[in-house]
Amino acid sequence: MTPESIDQFKHIYNKMDDSLKWKLNCTGRFVEDLLYDYGLTLRKENCLHSFILDTDDDDICGLFSSDEWEEIECTNIKEDPPLPDNVERLLHDFNKTNSSDIYDVLKDSSRRYEDFNTRTIFYAVDSMYLNALSSSPV
């Protein structure tokens, strides 16, 4: 992290209103305070520097007691939104077992630019495909 990004992180935190922070009922501690304190110890950029709570990160989990973590995982649970039909079809089409079949889907330029989601998926798969080709032994 650069000194500027640390300053920005501190500035954002210092502007926070305690009444708008997530106060855990079981202990009264604020989630943002814990993320901030931990964020100051990190040398590399992390999503918590944007006050995003990554519930899959064991280090983040370790900041909280087991009661706090249970409250975090059980509060405001949202269902994953359904995928648009074209995205679901595209992901299904990319579910191949050999590179030539994946390449055939990548060549279909009519689908590549349908919308933001398909462009993003094509970019990701194309990047992985090229990376796999470049790292394959000749």
pLDDT digits (tens, 9 = 90+) for 112-126: 888 888 888 888 888
pTM of the full structure: 0.60
User: Three-state DSSP class for 115?
Assistant: coil
Q: What is the pLDDT of residues 22-49, one digit of tens each?
A: 999 999 999 999 999 999 999 999 999 9
Domain-wise residue ranges, the chain: 3-74, 85-135
65 and 59 in contact (C-beta within 8 Å)?
no
Per-residue b or e along 30-64, where b marks 16 or more CB atoms closer than 10 Å to that residue's CB: ebbebbbeebeeeeeebebbebebeeeeeebbebb
